[in-house]
Amino acid sequence: MTGIDGSAALRALGQAYRSISGLLPDLPEEALRRPTRCRGWNVRDLLFHLLLDPQRALVALATPATGEPTVDFVSYWRSYQPGTARADRHAAFVRRAAAAYSGHILVEEWAETSEAALQAATWATAPTGRVHTQGLIISIPDLVATLTVEAAIHHLDLTAHLDGAPAVPAAALEVVRVTLDGLLGTTLPVDWDAETYALKATGRVALSEGDRAGLGVLGERLPLLG
């Protein structure tokens, strides 16, 4: 199992969640219907999907585990692949559930729940703390890192068609970079900035011929996660 600095991950998660919260209150209802980088989801759908993470975190942080971790912040992602029946079922559920929310209520619920999850993680963070989530056992710092990756990448998805939206915090993109390096098994051999790495290594932006030449055989392994 790999390790990650819990304090740094928690700071990055705080910046990632609060950056998303900061861009939402001024969005008109029309903006919630705009497309995102997640195929088939508009901004409202993706925000509901994001809301599920702090909800899950609150449950996980109240469900301590005593066994050894079964995943870390890198291996957690290896089972997540787009295009599976499980992914399709989740996408359909998100669209149906998000449609039941008014924009105002969904934005409020995201802000309150994400902040509550941050507070719970602050109180619970310990180097040896472990929790249950999704049938897995994971350390609290590694759980926080996975939440950060999800928030950072979906921030990029969420704001693809929102003019003037704030950039993803650099600390959150750094957690994404370390996670992608872990999945790749090496440091990146091409000169991408952190945002480009996040977009290209997750299949959100297609690789150019120059990218493929620079990556060599590693290019065949992308996307690293969906």
- Domain range list for the chain: 6-220
pLDDT, tens digit, 9 for 90 and up, residues 79-137: 776 667 787 898 899 999 999 998 899 999 999 999 999 999 998 866 669 999 999 99
Q: For 2-6, 52-56, 110-114, 154-158, which range has the lowest pLDDT when averaged over its residues?
A: 2-6
Please name every residue paired with 35 in a beta bridge, in sequence order, or none if there are none.
42
Are the C-beta atoms of residues 224 and 183 closer than 8 Å to each other? yes
Number of other residues whose CB lies within 10 A of the CB of residue 216: 10
- The dihedral sign for the CA sequence 152, 113, 1, 137: negative
Tokens of 153: 């990448």
Structure tokens at 9: 């991950």
For residues 51 and 12, give the distance between their C-alpha atoms in angstroms, rounded to a whole number: 17
What is the band of 2 on the pLDDT scale with cuts at 50, 70, 90? Answer: low
Rounded-to-integer distance, Cα 155 and Cα 149, Å: 10
Across 26-160, the runs of DSSP E, i.e. the strands, are: 130-133, 136-139
What CATH superfamily classification does 6-220 receive?
A: dinb family like domain (1.20.120.450)
pLDDT, mean over the chain: 92
Nearest C-alpha neighbor of 45 from the set 108, 94, 83, 86: 94
Query: pTM of the entire structure?
Result: 0.95
Contact 73, 146 (CB under 8 A): yes
Q: Tell me the per-residue pLDDT of 165-198, one tens digit each, with 9 for 90 and over.
A: 899 999 999 999 999 999 999 988 999 999 999 9
